[in-house]
């Protein structure tokens, strides 16, 4: 059977759907690993922890929505790997300099909330909303 270009194959999904579900899987897998070390389980204060979680969730959702139309295509895989490693190194050094050691656990809580805010926002936009609006059709 032929399928029009506006129909979505629900069985296979779309690239956006698979990316959103992959992001949710990454959030599920990374949450225990990030919260397992001792500093992540230390609550500095309830206000700071609650603020980190709220800000992390909101920033994650905003970044997910803002970067959704952006498609980064590196010219080569080697360039992408080098750029990623440099970005990780610069970010790590910056965070060591800016965040006091006693707040490092709160930063990890922010990161977990950011991951969940981003992934839930993406899954809501690309998987749940199309399923509820009925834009997907099952291809036989």
**Residue-wise pLDDT tens digits, 23-48:** 999 999 999 998 888 877 878 888 98
Question: What global pTM score does this model have?
Answer: 0.74
Cβ 58 vs Cβ 113: under 8 Å = no
Banded model confidence at residue 139, pLDDT cuts 50, 70, 90? very low
Distances (CA, A) of 124 to 21, 77, 104, 129, 132: 10, 30, 30, 6, 10
CA-based nearest residue to 19, from 140, 127, 92: 127
Cβ 1 vs Cβ 140: under 8 Å = yes
**Residue-wise pLDDT tens digits, 66-115:** 988 877 676 778 888 888 899 989 988 998 898 888 888 888 899 999 99
Per-domain residue ranges of the chain: 8-69+77-137
Interatomic CA distance for residues 10 and 14, integer angstroms = 8
């Amino acid at each position: 059977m032929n399928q029009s270009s506006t129909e979505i194959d629900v069985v296979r999904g779309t690239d956006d759907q698979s990316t959103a579900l992959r992001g949710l899987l990454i959030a599920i897998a990374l949450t225990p690993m990030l919260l397992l070390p001792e500093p992540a389980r230390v609550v500095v204060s309830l206000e700071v922890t609650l603020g980190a979680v709220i800000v992390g969730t909101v920033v994650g959702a905003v970044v997910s929505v803002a970067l959704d139309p952006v498609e980064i295509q590196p010219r080569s895989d080697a360039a992408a790997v080098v750029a990623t490693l440099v970005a990780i190194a610069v970010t790590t050094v910056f965070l060591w300099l800016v965040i006091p050691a006693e707040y490092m656990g709160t930063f990890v809580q922010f990161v977990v909330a950011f991951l969940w805010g981003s992934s839930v926002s993406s899954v809501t936009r690309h998987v749940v909303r199309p399923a509820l609006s009925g834009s997907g059709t099952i291809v036989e």
